Amino acid sequence: MTSFKKWSDIREEHVARAGGEEELIKTRRMIEAYVHAWHLAERRRNGGLTQSEVAEKMGVTKMRVSQIENGDVTSVEVLARYIEAIGGRLELTATFDDGTYRMGDATAAM
Protein backbone atom coordinates (compact mmCIF):
# COMPACT_ATOMS: atom_id res chain seq x y z
CA MET A 1 0.00 0.00 0.00
CA THR A 2 1.30 3.43 -0.94
CA SER A 3 1.33 6.42 1.39
CA PHE A 4 0.55 8.89 -1.40
CA LYS A 5 -2.71 10.81 -1.22
CA LYS A 6 -4.97 11.48 -4.16
CA TRP A 7 -4.96 15.08 -5.32
CA SER A 8 -8.76 15.04 -5.37
CA ASP A 9 -8.74 14.21 -1.63
CA ILE A 10 -6.44 17.07 -0.61
CA ARG A 11 -7.07 19.71 -3.30
CA GLU A 12 -9.70 21.67 -1.38
CA GLU A 13 -7.36 22.17 1.58
CA HIS A 14 -4.52 23.36 -0.64
CA VAL A 15 -6.77 25.68 -2.64
CA ALA A 16 -8.01 27.27 0.58
CA ARG A 17 -4.43 27.68 1.81
CA ALA A 18 -3.54 29.42 -1.48
CA GLY A 19 -6.35 31.95 -1.06
CA GLY A 20 -9.19 30.27 -2.95
CA GLU A 21 -10.08 29.53 -6.55
CA GLU A 22 -10.00 33.19 -7.63
CA GLU A 23 -6.46 33.60 -6.34
CA LEU A 24 -5.35 30.44 -8.15
CA ILE A 25 -6.87 31.72 -11.41
CA LYS A 26 -5.14 35.09 -10.94
CA THR A 27 -1.80 33.42 -10.25
CA ARG A 28 -2.15 31.07 -13.21
CA ARG A 29 -2.85 34.01 -15.54
CA MET A 30 0.17 35.88 -14.18
CA ILE A 31 2.42 32.87 -14.77
CA GLU A 32 1.04 32.35 -18.28
CA ALA A 33 1.63 36.04 -19.11
CA TYR A 34 5.21 35.73 -17.89
CA VAL A 35 5.82 32.57 -19.94
CA HIS A 36 4.36 34.11 -23.10
CA ALA A 37 6.46 37.24 -22.56
CA TRP A 38 9.60 35.15 -22.05
CA HIS A 39 8.99 33.36 -25.37
CA LEU A 40 8.50 36.67 -27.17
CA ALA A 41 11.71 38.06 -25.61
CA GLU A 42 13.52 34.93 -26.82
CA ARG A 43 12.15 35.56 -30.29
CA ARG A 44 13.47 39.13 -30.10
CA ARG A 45 16.92 37.98 -28.99
CA ASN A 46 17.05 35.26 -31.66
CA GLY A 47 16.21 37.94 -34.23
CA GLY A 48 19.22 39.95 -33.11
CA LEU A 49 17.20 42.88 -31.77
CA THR A 50 17.98 44.76 -28.57
CA GLN A 51 15.36 46.14 -26.22
CA SER A 52 16.48 49.63 -27.24
CA GLU A 53 15.86 48.88 -30.91
CA VAL A 54 12.40 47.51 -30.16
CA ALA A 55 11.64 50.52 -27.94
CA GLU A 56 12.59 52.87 -30.77
CA LYS A 57 10.34 51.01 -33.24
CA MET A 58 7.45 51.10 -30.76
CA GLY A 59 7.99 54.71 -29.71
CA VAL A 60 8.36 53.75 -26.04
CA THR A 61 11.19 53.56 -23.53
CA LYS A 62 13.53 50.61 -23.09
CA MET A 63 12.04 50.26 -19.59
CA ARG A 64 8.58 49.74 -21.11
CA VAL A 65 9.94 47.00 -23.40
CA SER A 66 11.47 45.36 -20.33
CA GLN A 67 8.10 45.52 -18.57
CA ILE A 68 6.37 43.94 -21.58
CA GLU A 69 9.00 41.17 -21.61
CA ASN A 70 8.18 40.52 -17.96
CA GLY A 71 4.48 40.01 -18.69
CA ASP A 72 3.23 43.53 -17.96
CA VAL A 73 1.04 43.98 -21.04
CA THR A 74 -1.82 46.42 -20.64
CA SER A 75 -3.70 45.81 -23.89
CA VAL A 76 -3.87 43.84 -27.10
CA GLU A 77 -2.66 46.96 -28.90
CA VAL A 78 0.56 47.03 -26.83
CA LEU A 79 1.14 43.36 -27.50
CA ALA A 80 0.48 43.82 -31.23
CA ARG A 81 2.91 46.75 -31.42
CA TYR A 82 5.61 44.76 -29.63
CA ILE A 83 5.13 41.77 -31.91
CA GLU A 84 5.26 44.00 -34.99
CA ALA A 85 8.46 45.63 -33.69
CA ILE A 86 10.14 42.21 -33.49
CA GLY A 87 8.98 41.26 -36.97
CA GLY A 88 5.70 39.45 -36.40
CA ARG A 89 1.97 40.05 -36.71
CA LEU A 90 -0.62 39.36 -34.02
CA GLU A 91 -3.80 37.71 -35.25
CA LEU A 92 -6.99 37.13 -33.29
CA THR A 93 -9.09 33.98 -33.31
CA ALA A 94 -12.41 33.58 -31.51
CA THR A 95 -13.15 30.04 -30.34
CA PHE A 96 -16.71 28.76 -29.88
CA ASP A 97 -18.16 25.35 -29.02
CA ASP A 98 -18.96 24.73 -32.66
CA GLY A 99 -15.75 26.08 -34.21
CA THR A 100 -13.45 29.04 -34.56
CA TYR A 101 -13.60 32.37 -36.30
CA ARG A 102 -10.32 33.89 -37.45
CA MET A 103 -10.56 37.64 -37.06
CA GLY A 104 -7.22 38.32 -38.70
CA ASP A 105 -4.73 41.08 -38.00
CA ALA A 106 -5.23 42.45 -34.49
CA THR A 107 -4.05 45.92 -35.49
CA ALA A 108 -6.38 46.31 -38.48
CA ALA A 109 -9.21 47.67 -36.29
CA MET A 110 -6.93 49.95 -34.22
List alpha helices for the chain, DSSP H: 7-18, 21-46, 51-58, 62-68, 76-85
Q: Which domain holds residue 42?
A: 9-105
Q: What is the CATH number of the domain that holds 23?
A: 1.10.260.40
Number of domains observed in the structure of the chain: 1
pLDDT for 107: 63
Mean of per-residue pLDDT scores for the chain = 91
pLDDT for 103: 84
> Element (H or E) spanning 42, and its range?
helix 21-46
pTM of the model: 0.74
Q: How confident is the model at residue 108 (pLDDT cuts 50, 70, 90)?
A: low
List phi, psi (to 5°) of 85. -65, -25
Which pLDDT tens digit goes with each residue over 57-97? 999 999 999 999 999 988 999 999 999 999 999 998 999 99
List phi, psi (to 5°) of 100. -125, 155
